[in-house]
Chain A
Amino acid sequence: MITLLIKEIRSFLSSLIAVIVIVVFLLAIGLFMWVFPDTNVLDYGYSNMDTLFSMAPFVFIFLISAITMRSYSEEKRMGTFESLVTKPISDLQIVLAKYLAGLFLVLFSLIPTLIYYYTIYQLGAPKGNIDSGAIWGSYIGLLLLGSCYVAIGLFSSSLTENQIIAFITSMFLCFFCFTAFDQISKLSLFSSIDYLLEWLGINYHYESISRGVLDTRDLVYFLSLTALFLGLTFKTSRKGI
């Protein structure tokens, strides 16, 4: 499994996907945080990183869908999936290796943003006047959100041999899980179960963790959502062959 994990990461790196994803992510977030007048921290005047943590989930929808879209569909289309699963590695190990490789890339793209934290920490008046607890909570929330997205992306990719279909399905599912429940719960039609609906969405738990409180209920939610989609991937990975 480790071998496959390393191979997946190397194939991200050698196919430039990783580089492009990380560069685009940092560029987009950097522009929002420091340059664009509506959202930049300098004009805003408060020493926090809300811009990063409110934009990142949406940027991730594109980027994580892009990095996971080929994981299964490409292998199925090229037939390499056949030679992979006829080697002594179980389907579950394949799912986990691909998931961990995706998660590793997410982690890798987040690490450079720690510079922003340091910068804002230094800019605060007085120096260091920043809600560190909320920042770390948000980072963990973002990582957990990325983990869900990777699982969703893998699932979408396992459904089809076509990468474009996988990409679009994945974007839709990520978007749906992130914010659609929120929006639906606001409809007066569902006013009796609005709390439950809101609770089902990622956004609710993400915001809860972003406050800096690591509630086990939120952790359980993120981990179960990830596990759910990894389980579905495991189930569908052999379909259509």
Chain B
Amino acid sequence: MSIEVRGLTKLYSEQRAVDDISFSIKSGEIVGFLGPNGAGKSTTMKMLTCFIEPSAGIAEVCGYNTIINPMDVKRQVGYLAEHNPLYLDMYVKEYLLFVAGIYGIKKDASTLVRNIIGNTGLFPEQNKKIGALSKGYRQRVGLAQAMLHNPKVLILDEPTSGLDPNQINDIRKLITEFGKDRTVMLSTHIMQEVEAMCDRIIIINKGKIVADDATGNLQKRFNSSLLLNVEFKNEVTKVQLKEIPGVQMVTENGRNRWKLAATKGSDLRELVFKFAVDTGNVILQQNEEEQRLEEIFQHLTKDIS
């Protein structure tokens, strides 16, 4: 097991930021750690990287306990903290050499730094000050310092937040490339990201794990309720639509466009067609929609009040 967490809890005075969570991540997995802001993602990651001590429970990385052997844990882990903190007044190359020095790399430091600069596409910016770089390049520097010492485990806290779509794509490619033979745990609240990159998803809400499954399974599990998008030619009312047998939820989606959610097992397409014929209406457009992870996420993390 690359990462093993048992009964991990973090208390901030009265508040339970992380509440008795347990999971384990096999080596080689790319795991998405998902949750709304304030769910406890960063706190969990900070405990895994020995930045803060857990109030209770055990966190292990590559078999090393974060409290008993923090130095061994730190050597195995490459960590990109939230907001990507960097020394803005240092030069890219200087900073990476400094990080190499901290990891105790002496002989091959310059080769390693040269390689990582090449791999992360920092070559054209390598002689600039970090403060002068754009956000995308800073993120690359952040990734470079996390991957420099070839860690077995990579922990990335919101690696793509605040980047433009092209930059997001580049960073994702980098992470997937690197994660081929290593363990990666990344947190995000962008769903497409985990769909695109992760083998497995752990969803956390209010400090508790609400789902932990392979990405495909999670999609399947919630696909039982199908969604249907319909566009009618003439006006219909919400009440009318609700009366169709098998319709569970109706949401208006623009002029004469409706989104219908079916109860389990019923095929709405036929019923909606019948409804249109009965009311003398015409269906202009109708398509089925798979429930995407985004909706699963919303479903799992919305307040149950």
Contact = CB atoms under 8 A, between A and B. Distances in A.
Contacts of B79: 83, 86
Interface residues of A, number: 23
Contacts of A124: none
Contacts of A89: 102
Contacts of A10: 94
Interface residues of B, number: 27
Contact of A78 (B46, B75, B85): B85
A81 B81 CA distance: 10
A82 B103 CA distance: 15
B145 A90 contact: no
Contacts of B71: 88, 90
Contacts of B89: 11, 14-15
Contacts of A86: 49-51, 74, 77, 79, 81
Interface in A1-46: 2-4, 6-7, 10-11, 14-15
A96 to B, nearest CB: 14
> Is the contact region of chain A dominated by helix, strand, or loop, or is it mixed?
helix
B51 A82 contact: yes
Interface string B98-137: 1101111000000000000000000000000000000000
Contact of B51 (A3, A4, A80, A85): A85
B74 A88 contact: yes
B86 interface: yes
A87 B99 contact: yes
Contacts of A189: none
A79 B99 contact: no
Nearest to B109: A3
Interface of B: 46, 49-52, 71, 74-75, 77, 79, 81-83, 85-90, 94, 98-99, 101-104, 145
